Every structure is written in structure tokens, then in C-alpha cells.
Structure 1
């Protein structure tokens, strides 16, 4: 029997099936577990969650004579109610990057915690619960629907120490945005997001000293790291009802269209659509992120370099769709305008890939900072335009990320 109860009725020994509320509101990355620690109950009581579903066939019931809020005969009934409530509460109307940034930062924080827990469970040999990640992917998908650039760009600001975990979050968001750009349906988009989140799960099986090594890997160490797709695939195989798309992307996201990738050396037509998507998203986040051994490249410069590799590494059509999903000058790119001013890209606009909103802050004519001003290059009365990308390493602006995001450093 499934029962909905007040959080005040929770006791150790109950099987917590589902929370009645947003995934963002409670402190656990998944449900479906027996409560064994009183601290877990205290964490739930401290959250904004007021009611939960318990499964009395897998744990304790409420005490005799104590009434539940409601009862259900099947998982389907619970799922239907939760989906109905969630759909009514979802906000997916388009908003500006500035409006989505704060919400995206919270999603990044929660997502990082969830991925850390997922990796820790995998390291301990526990079965991977892909179902527990669905709510996380829904939150990320909704953020991308409201504004494609906010969460993707924030996730790029990860520290080198957070790379392994936040990389999974960033690739999830980019897979969702790319799926939407390719016109995939809702179910395929969700699968793409889940695959992005799980694609590097095999790194949970890698030796920590190799995974977090601050310098260049030796040939022997790189050979170990190259086993992570197959290790991740094995972890997923041990799960229950795992989406084949997730398993495919986990195993094949390092394949290249010219056959030079790993682990199977597959060529163009042998690689699935979703694995090709995963390859593009994985590489972009890797080269734009700060790593222990190198600083991340500028977003626009990264796309330029990827375009040079495209014929051998990536599917051309998928790479072109990826560029459209981010913009030729992604958020955070440093650009020079025809007026001689330098600015950082804040947001894409509907008019053209070459006319984003830019925050200008430096004059190359006077070689000094100027009062920051947001310029929308897509407006009819705009008499300025982008003439080139600029290398941030050359200019050494320490506040470039703060200029577009409003945040001095990541809050996760």
C-alpha cells in the first residue's frame, strides 16, 4: 500500500517513495530508500516539503489509528498525481539570461551534489539508479527551455576541482539544447539529457590520483582513463531498465567520425545520432573549462578550433546545429566591435547568430576601461557590429565572467 503522509509523521524504518514537491526543494538527489538515519528526517523537516509518499510494503506503516493524507493502489497513481502537480508548477516561458542566472545557479548547486552522490555510490559498488536522475534532468531541461544560455554558461565557470562533476551537468544541458535545435521530440530530448548526465559515469571507477592529476598524463595513465566508457557501460548494465540511449552515449561519446576514436574505433555511419551529439558536447565543455593543467579556452575560439577538427572528429550537421544552439559567439566570448570597443557576449538574439547582446566595457582607442553598457546588436538602430574575436589571455581582464554573469565566482 502506498500512502501520502505529512513529513511530521515520518519515522526511521519507513520506505520513502516520493517527495511531494520540486526536486529543488529537498536535500536528496533521489527517492526510493528506507530511512535509517534520524538526521535524514530532520533534513526533510528543515526543507519546504510538507508531504511525502511512503511504500508500506517495503517499510513501516503509520502507527495504528493514525490517518494518512491519502492512499494509492499503484505506482501509476502516484506518478500521475506527481506529474500533474509538477506540470502545473513548471515555468518554461522564455526569460532573459539575467533573469535565469540565479535560478540556474541553484540548479547547478543541486545538480553537483546529485552527481557527487551518484559517483560515490558507483565507487562503492552500488547499482546506478538512473530513475533517480529524472527530476534533475527535468529541472535542467526547464532551465534550458526558459533560457538556453544561462545554465550552460554558468556550468562552464566550474573550478578545476569540480570539473568531473560539473562537466556531467554542463554536457546534460548542452545535450538538451542540441536536441531541441535538432527538432527531437520530448522523450528523445529527455533521453539525450539523461545520457549527457551519465556519459562519464565510468570515471567513478578510475583511480583518483590519475583522474585528478594536475599535470599531463603518461601513456600508461591515459590508457587507464580510456577505459572509462566501458567501465561506465558495465555500471549501467547492472542497473534496472536503463535507457539504451544512455548506455550507447556512455560507451561511444569518444568515437570520432574518421574512426580514430575509442573504445571501438567506430566510423561515421556506425556511430549513433546521440553518441555523435555527446561527442560534440563533451569536447566543447572540456576545452572551455579550467583544468588542473590548463586554462579553458574562450567559447568563440573553442568553436573555431572545433570547426577545424569537424571533418575528422564530428558529424558536420550535428556540429552546425550545436553552433546554432550556442551562437557563433557564445555567452562569455570576448569580442571587438567596429567602434573599437571591447565587450563580453551576454545573450543571443533571435535575429542572427552574429548579432548578440554585448556588454561593452573597454575602449581600444583610449586603451582604458569605460562605463559598462549593454548593446543589443540586433536592434534596427544599432550602428555597431562585431569585427573579431579577442583572446582573453592577451587582455587579462580578471572580471570577464563577472561582467556577463553578475557573479564574481561560481556559487556551487
Structure 2
């Protein structure tokens, strides 16, 4: 059983399952390990982490009288908070998810080539040409208008070696969808999309071997990576081809509401709306993507974790983001009340809790079952999502194949 406890209550012999907070707020390379030394205990207590998860089946339980909360209790609490904060709004879809997925796959391929070319010029120190970027933003915007789930979900699926390029496409798509959710006009939507496409161009000032390093970065390498917002803003400023808005997102998408971000430790209203949007979109795609040094998190689990990061995101922007991608985004692995396990295929306009789900496994019998797509909006009172599941813990592989159809 998993329990969340305060760092003050951690003791040697406990099995650490997960730290609560942003992925770089703790001093350990691996999040799951048996706490065996007082030295490591002190490292945890001196970090900025306030809470963490322990697995009592693999190590010591909490001492008598210590307050803890189970995973089920946390999930219910988080669900209630998210539901209280967000309400579904009807969405008019021009085409089906299946039809737009096919278009989006081709667009992702074209986008990757265009970004590689643009970013390649930046790495070589050549003059930046952004004509293709504007055309790309238009195409991505059109795809999001036809069906917001398709491209956003597909762009999340990327190999480690193409992360830097496809991450830019994914953040562009997320920024466009979020901008529309916030009610911005179409000119502002396009600017938000362009800022997402170019937000990480400063990473071209970082050597590839550092960007794609599978192990932990040295202090000097980490400093190099943290410098990418400033490097990118210099590139964009020198190009004289983008607006101050795009430049601002590039420079400030790693700032946090509580002032603990970088490079300028801005806080609250000092951070522009677009940079606050960029912070959410950037982190969501980063944590749900496979990287050289870590496997991506499940989309629904990512939303749950991000909601717990106090002081990281603007609450209003984050709530709008959840409306955009859903409490259970496409690709999330979920368990139904009936005991069936499935993957979310598509959001529904009526409710964030009743997506289309493809079931394929029985948690009760522990065996595969015939695949079936269920529209949970038509099964109200008969079946519903009761929790998130971990593909890793179940040993499921390639579950994304179930919803992409590729």
C-alpha cells in the first residue's frame, strides 16, 4: 500500500515510492528506493520537498500516531478539487477523432522536418528564417480547430532522440488549445502558438550530448541547460522577426508563481499571461514524454501530480488547461467500476468524467478481454472511471497503439 507522509516523519527503512513536487526539487536521481542511511535521510529533509509517498509493502510503515493518507484518499480528494474548479463546455467538432488522427500524423511528420531545419540553423549560428514557422502554426491551429484531442495527444508520443523537436510542436498545439479555452482572439491564439513553437530554441546553444544524456547531468551541464531561456531570447531578439510576446515566453516559461523559477525569479503578476500558459504546457508535455533519462508519466497521473505542485502554476491558467486536455487525457490508463481496465480514446463535450474508453483487460481475473470501445456518457449509472492505473505496474506495453490505431 502507498501512503503519503510529511518529510518530517520519514525514517530509515522506509521504501520511498515518489517525491511530491516538481521532478527536479529533490536531490535523488531515482525516485523509488529503500532509504538505508541517515545521510540520505538528511538529504531528503534538507531538500525543498514537504511530502512524499512510501510503499509500506516494501519497507517500514509510519510510526504509531503519525498522520498519513492513502493513494485512494488522495485520488478522491484531487478529483473533487479538479471537478470543483473545472466545468465542461460543449465543443463543436468538425471531424471525428479517427479522421483527424490520420491528418495529425502527417502534420507531425512535416512539422518535425521544419523544426529540425529551423533549429539546425540556430545551432549553426545562421540567420533564423521563420516563414515556415508561421505556416506551421496555421496548420496546427486548423487541426486543433477540427478536433483538439488528436494532434495534442499524438504529439506527446515521441522517441527520446526527437524530443527537443517534437516537444516544440506539442507545446505549440497545447498553447493554441489553451489560448482558445481562455477566450483569446485568433490573433492572440496564433501568437501563443508561435511562442510555443519557439520557446525552446535556446536549447540549440546546448551540446546534443548534454541534451540527450541518459544519466544525471553534472553541475556545469545543468547550468548549461538552465541557461537556454536566455540563450533563446538572445537568438530571437537578434532575428528581429518575432513579437515581444513570443520573446517573453521563450525567456520566462520556467518562472513559477511563487518566485522560485528561473532565470529572473519572477512571481505572481510579474509573469505575463502567455509565460504562465507556457509554463503549464511545457511541463505537461515534458513529464508525459519519454526522455533519455526517464519514462514519461501517464497523462492522467501527470494532471494529478501537477495539481499538487503548490506555487508552480497560475491556478486559473491550470484550471483552463485541465478543461483543455481533460482530467483523464487521451492515452490515460483507467480502471472502471466494473473492474475492466482501458485506455482513454477521446474526451466528451458533456463531461470530463465520461470519455470514450477502449477496455482490454480484466483487473478481477487478471486476463485480457475482447477489446471494446465504451462511451461512458451513455453508461451513466452503469459504469464509470474509479481510478487511474499504471501501465508499468501491470506490465502493459504499447498501450498507445490501442488509441492511435497505427
- Normalising by structure 1, we get a TM-score of 0.75
Aligned position for 2:203: 203
Task: Judge conservation of contact 1:127–1:235 (CA < 8 Å) in 2.
Answer: no
Aligned position for 1:349: 348
Residues of 1 paired with 2:240 and 2:272: CA distance? 22
- For residues 86-105 of structure 1, the aligned pairs below 5 Å read 94-105=94-105
Aligned position for 1:335: 334
Residues of 2 paired with 1:162 and 1:298: CA distance? 19
Residues of 2 paired with 1:338 and 1:306: CA distance? 25
Q: CA deviation at 1:253?
A: 0.3
Aligned position for 2:240: 240
Q: CA deviation at 1:123?
A: 1.4
Q: Relative to 1, partners in 2 of residues 1:304 and 1:138: Cα closer, same or farther, differing over 3 Å? A: same
Residues of 2 paired with 1:269 and 1:196: CA distance? 20
Residues of 2 paired with 1:381 and 1:319: CA distance? 27
Residues of 1 paired with 2:303 and 2:380: CA distance? 29
- Normalising by structure 2, we get a TM-score of 0.76
Q: Relative to 1, partners in 2 of residues 1:394 and 1:377: Cα closer, same or farther, differing over 3 Å? A: same
User: Gaps spanning 5+ residues in structure 1: where?
Assistant: 1-91, 408-412
Structure 1 stretches of 4+ moved >4 Å: none
Aligned position for 2:358: 359
Residues of 2 paired with 1:332 and 1:286: CA distance? 15
Residues of 2 paired with 1:177 and 1:285: CA distance? 14
Which structure has the greater CA radius of gyration? Answer: 1
Q: CA deviation at 1:399?
A: 2.9
What is the alpha-carbon root mean square deviation over aligned residues? 1.2
- Could you report, residue by residue, the CA deviation over 1:240-267 in whole angstroms, capped at 9, with x for unpaired residues? 3411111000000000011111111101
Task: Judge conservation of contact 2:288–2:298 (CA < 8 Å) in 1.
Answer: yes
Aligned position for 1:48: none
Residues of 1 paired with 2:244 and 2:378: CA distance? 45
Q: CA deviation at 1:363?
A: 1.1
Residues of 1 paired with 2:234 and 2:380: CA distance? 57
Residues of 2 paired with 1:290 and 1:136: CA distance? 24
Aligned position for 2:258: 258
Aligned position for 1:15: none
Aligned position for 1:325: 324
- For residues 87-236 of structure 1, the aligned pairs below 5 Å read 94-236=94-236
Q: How many residues align?
A: 315
Task: Judge conservation of contact 2:391–2:397 (CA < 8 Å) in 1.
Answer: no
Describe the SS at the equivalent of 2:373: strand
Q: CA deviation at 1:129?
A: 2.3
- Could you report, residue by residue, the CA deviation over 1:41-66 in whole angstroms, capped at 9, with x for unpaired residues? xxxxxxxxxxxxxxxxxxxxxxxxxx
Residues of 2 paired with 1:109 and 1:275: CA distance? 27
Q: Relative to 1, partners in 2 of residues 1:313 and 1:240: Cα closer, same or farther, differing over 3 Å? A: same
- Could you report, residue by residue, the CA deviation over 1:212-250 in whole angstroms, capped at 9, with x for unpaired residues? 111111222111111100110010011134111110000
Q: CA deviation at 1:381?
A: 6.3
Residues of 2 paired with 1:246 and 1:199: CA distance? 8
Residues of 1 paired with 2:381 and 2:135: CA distance? 42
- Could you report, residue by residue, the CA deviation over 1:269-302 in whole angstroms, capped at 9, with x for unpaired residues? 1000000000000000110000111100000000
Q: CA deviation at 1:380?
A: 5.9
Describe the SS at the equivalent of 1:313: coil
- Could you report, residue by residue, the CA deviation over 1:98-135 in whole angstroms, capped at 9, with x for unpaired residues? 11111000000000001100111111212222333111
Describe the SS at the equivalent of 2:378: coil
Task: Judge conservation of contact 1:155–1:167 (CA < 8 Å) in 2.
Answer: yes
Task: Judge conservation of contact 1:376–1:382 (CA < 8 Å) in 2.
Answer: no
Describe the SS at the equivalent of 1:335: strand
Describe the SS at the equivalent of 1:197: helix
Aligned position for 2:392: 393
Residues of 2 paired with 1:117 and 1:302: CA distance? 31
Residues of 2 paired with 1:131 and 1:273: CA distance? 25
